[in-house]
A and B are shown apart, each in its own frame.
Chain A
C-alpha cells in the first residue's frame, strides 16, 4: 500500500481493508475446463491452415480406411454418417449431468503443452433404453438401441458449435475370432468431425468387446501419452466399457478426443493408436491386419507399448 497523508488515499486504503477477504474456493473443475477450451481454441486459431489440411489429407482418410472399410455380409457392420456441416444442428439441452467431468490432456513426449483431451463413457450398470453423456459441456453422446444387437451412437455437437454426427454399430452375437481374418477386420469405427468456425475437431472411436473373450480388459495404446506422477509418460490407458442398451447387452466403449484438427485426427491415424482386448484367452487387437502381431498395428515397437503402465480413465479433476 502506498503511504500518503492524502485523506482520499487513506479512505481508499480503508476500503481495501473492507474488501471481501478470507478463504474462497473457485469452481476448480470449471476453471480448468474453461482454461482447456481457451487454450485449445487459441491453439486451433493459431494453427496454420496447411497443417490442418495436411492432417485431414492424411489422418482422417487413414483412420477411416482402417476402420470403415466394406464389411462382409453376416459380419459386424459399421456405417458412419456425418451430418452436413451446413445443416443447423438440432437444439439440445445443455445441462451437464452430475459426474460429467473435464479431461486430462494427452501429451506427447516432444510437446510439453498438449491441447487435446480424451474422454470415455462409463456406465457400470446396464441401461434399459439409452445411454447418454455430456462431454466437456459441448458434446452430447447418446447410445440408442436399434435392434437386439445394434445401436446408434449419436454425437450432438450443437452446444459446442460442432458438426453433429452418428454411427450405427451392429455386431454378430456369439462371434468368434475366426470370423475376423484377412480383410474382415473386427470393427472399431473411428471418425472425426469439425467444430464450426475453428480448427477444433472431435474424433470418435467406438467399439464393442469381442464376445469370445471372457471379461477382457480394454486398453487404448496411443502414440500420444499421458503423464505419470513420476514425470514419465505412458502410452497405455485402460478403457472403461459399458453395457449396450440392447437385448444381448454387449459391452461397448466410446472414446472422444477433443482437440485441434491435427491432433484429433492424428489420434486416429493409422498406426497411431490401437485398441487391445486382454482376457484369459489372450490379447486380441481389432482392426489390425495381422492380429497376432501387435507390431503390425502400431508405430512403436509393441515391446515398448505392451509393457506400459496403464493409466485409468478417472473422474477428474480429482475431488479435493
Chain B
C-alpha cells in the first residue's frame, strides 16, 4: 500500500465515465426551465453592464450558478429578479476597452446599409457608459435600460432610493457631457 505520490503521476490508460445517481429532480427541472426562459435576458443585461459579450456570458453563467445555489430562496419570489440582482452585484469593473472590436464581433452588420452609423452610435454610448463607475453603471442599466423602478433598483442593489436618484442623476449628467463632447447623441 502506498500513498498517492507514486500513483498520480502514472499515465492513465482509459477514462471511466462518472455517473451520478438519479434523474433530474424537480428542483433541477425547474431551474433548467428557468435558464431556458431567461438566460438571454440576463445575458443582455450583463452585456449592458460590461460591454463585452464574452464577459457578459461569463457573468451570466456565474449569476445563474449562484441563483441555482440558492434556488429554494430564489423560486419563492421573482426568480428572474433574484438572478438579475445577483448579476448586478457581481464584479463588473473590468469594462473592456476595445469596444469597437467587440461590437463588430457581436453583431456583424457590414452588409446592412446604414449599419456603420448604428455601430458608431452604440460605440459612442458604450464609451459614455464606460466613464461611469460600477455603481453608477448598475443604476443606469437597471433603471434606464432594463426599465426597473427606482424602488426596484434600490432593492436590487441594496441601496436607498435616494442613492438611486442621485447616482442616476450624476451618471446621466456625465454621459450627457461625454456625448455632447463627441457631438451629441445621434
Contacts and interface: CB of A to CB of B under 8 A. Distances in A.
A123 interface: yes
Interface stretch (B26-34, B90-98, B156-164): B26-34
A28 B60 CA distance: 11
B23 A314 contact: yes
Contacts of A185: none
Given A19-B44, A31-B61, A317-B24, 8 more contacts: A2-B143, A38-B66, A105-B25, A106-B21, A119-B18, A142-B12, A156-B4, A164-B3
Nearest to B178: A8
A143 B10 CA distance: 10
Contacts of A158: 8
Contacts, number: 277
Given A1-B144, A22-B40, A314-B22, A144 B7 contact: yes
A304 B19 CA distance: 26
B48 to A, nearest CB: 6
A118 B16 CA distance: 16
A218 interface: no
A25 B4 contact: no
Interface of B: 1-5, 7-10, 12-26, 28, 31-32, 35-36, 39-40, 43-44, 47-48, 53, 56-57, 60-62, 64-72, 106-107, 118, 121-122, 125-126, 129, 140, 143-147, 172, 175-176, 179, 184-186
A8 B179 contact: yes
A279 to B, nearest CB: 21
A290 B126 CA distance: 73
Contacts of B25: 104-105, 107, 226-227
The DSSP consensus for interface residues of chain A is mixed
Contacts of B31: 32
9 contacts: A19-B47, A20-B47, A23-B40, A28-B35, A35-B69, A133-B17, A166-B1, A315-B20, A318-B23
B18 A133 contact: yes
A274 B10 CA distance: 32
A9 B53 CA distance: 22
Given A104-B20, A311-B22, A12 B145 contact: yes
Contacts of A16: 48, 145-146
B72 A112 contact: yes
B176 to A, nearest CB: 5
Interface in A103-137: 103-107, 112-113, 117-123, 127-136
Contacts of A101: 17-20
B32 A320 contact: yes
